[in-house]
């Protein structure tokens, strides 16, 4: 069976690493890459959608990044236990009319012993923002190590 370290039980260090790896994957905007961190039978709640299974997650992400253009995400560890992690996040994106948004949310993750995510629950709110209020300006892709996180940005 496939393994995705770091593996549970999580420590502060391994949970923080798991969160950054998830952020990096999502910032790739590659549905295939992102979907591989979930079990074949993963279950999600994302806003009002409830994808079940890796294939459904991949389709969801393909649709997402056709709508959410110039997507840049920051995740931050909130809490963890043996095989669960809670994060808060914010991401900025624009639609095809060039309206910018900052989306704020929280996620709860549950992992199997191989480090694959079995369940993901996400609650997300979108805030339209003027372009001048954007805070995420790095080139598309991975957030640079020296770029502030959510707390550093006052978010």
Residues in the chain: 155
Residue 43 near residue 50 (C-beta atoms within 8 A): yes
Residue 103, helix vs strand vs coil: strand
- Give, for all 155 residues of the chain, the pLDDT tens digit: 689 999 999 999 999 999 999 999 999 999 999 999 999 999 999 999 999 999 999 999 999 999 999 999 999 999 999 999 999 999 999 999 999 999 999 999 999 999 999 999 999 999 999 999 999 999 999 999 999 999 999 99
What is the residue whose two structure tokens read 């095809």? 96
- Please give the pLDDT value at position 1: 67
pTM: predicted TM-score of the whole model, two decimal places: 0.97
């Amino acid at each position: 069976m496939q393994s995705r370290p770091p593996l549970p039980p999580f420590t502060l260090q391994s949970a923080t690493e798991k969160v950054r790896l998830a952020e990096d994957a999502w910032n790739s905007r590659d549905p295939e890459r992102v979907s591989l961190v979930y079990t074949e039978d993963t279950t999600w709640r994302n806003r009002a959608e409830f994808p079940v299974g890796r294939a459904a997650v991949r389709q969801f992400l393909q649709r997402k990044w056709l709508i959410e253009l110039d997507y840049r995400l920051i995740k931050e560890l909130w809490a963890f236990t043996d095989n669960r992690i809670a994060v808060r996040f914010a991401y900025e994106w624009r639609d095809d009319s060039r309206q910018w948004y900052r989306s704020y949310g929280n996620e709860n993750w549950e992992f199997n012993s191989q480090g694959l995510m079995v369940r993901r629950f996400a609650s997300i709110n979108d805030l339209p923002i003027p372009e001048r209020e954007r805070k995420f300006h790095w080139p598309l892709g991975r957030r640079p190590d020296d770029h502030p996180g959510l707390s550093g940005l006052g978010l």
